[in-house]
Amino acid sequence: MDQTSQPNRRILRFSAAPSSCAEDGLSVREPAESYLILPSDLLRKTMDGLQKRSAGWRESAGVWAGHVTEDHRWQAEELYLHHDLCDDRGTPLSLELTEAAKFRLYENLALQQLRLIALIHSHPRAWVDLSAVDQRNQLCSRVGFWSIVVSWYARTPWRVDAMGFHVRSPTGWYRLSASEVRKRVQIRE
Ligand SMILES: [Zn+2]
């Protein structure tokens, strides 16, 4: 729905500020370089939804669905916020997507022939690595699936270069460095 077919695309510039913890000796490597293609409208709508649900005190989350191209472009097109899918039982440090809600989501995506692209969720402070619980999250274990963490409960002004971008590899989660984010996360008008 969100402008992926519009011809006039441009890639937003990221600031050169280093992202903390991005190069902290992670040993997981991913074989195929993939790209995350994000319509800017969808990103804004997502951050707005997360910020409202978090309300400054609890975690919030959403799922992006869309298409994956043969040249490894993971294109986000639709947003499903956890709290629209079920009671997400958000707390300052946790939230959940019920099994029933997960299965409804999978069914819905199958009907629409959409694939899971990414999970995005908010953390209370600046730390945007995946927690042990986040790493065990089994929404999607497909190699190439993205998991994005946003800081400060998604409050404004949020910055893409302060988010943690993680990709599922055959051996676990791989966090992109700041330069990899600039290259491989493509936000389009
Ligand atoms: Zn988390």
pLDDT tens for 34-72 read 999 999 999 999 999 999 999 999 999 999 999 999 999
Classify residue 19: in a domain, yes or no.
Answer: no
Residue type, 174: Y
Classify residue 157: in a domain, yes or no.
Answer: yes
Classify residue 16: in a domain, yes or no.
Answer: no
What CATH number is given to the structural domain containing 163? 3.40.140.10
CA–centroid distance, 7 to ligand 1, in Å, is: 35
Prediction pTM value: 0.83
Q: Is the pLDDT at 9 greater than 60, yes or no?
A: no
- Dihedral of the CA atoms 22, 164, 35, 145 (nearest 10)? 120
Classify residue 61: in a domain, yes or no.
Answer: yes
Residues at Cβ < 5 Å from ligand 1 ion: 131, 134
Quote the tokens at residue 25: 């000796």
DSSP-derived pairing of the beta strands 73-81 and 35-39? parallel
Q: How far apart are CA 97 and CA 175, in angstroms?
A: 23
Bond preceding residue 31 cis, omega within 30 of 0: no
- Residue 21 banded pLDDT, cuts 50, 70, 90: very low
Its domain, for residue 162, covers 35-188
Classify residue 29: in a domain, yes or no.
Answer: no
Residues 6+ apart with CB under 8 A from 153: 50, 51, 54, 55, 56, 57, 58, 59, 60, 122, 123, 124
CA–centroid distance, 165 to ligand 1, in Å, is: 12
**Tally of domains in the chain:** 1
Classify residue 182: in a domain, yes or no.
Answer: yes
CA–centroid distance, 45 to ligand 1, in Å, is: 20
Classify residue 6: in a domain, yes or no.
Answer: no
Tens of pLDDT, residues 83-102: 999 999 999 999 999 999 99
Residue-level pLDDT at 138:
79
Q: Is the pLDDT at 111 greater than 90, yes or no?
A: yes
CA–centroid distance, 121 to ligand 1, in Å, is: 7
Classify residue 129: in a domain, yes or no.
Answer: yes
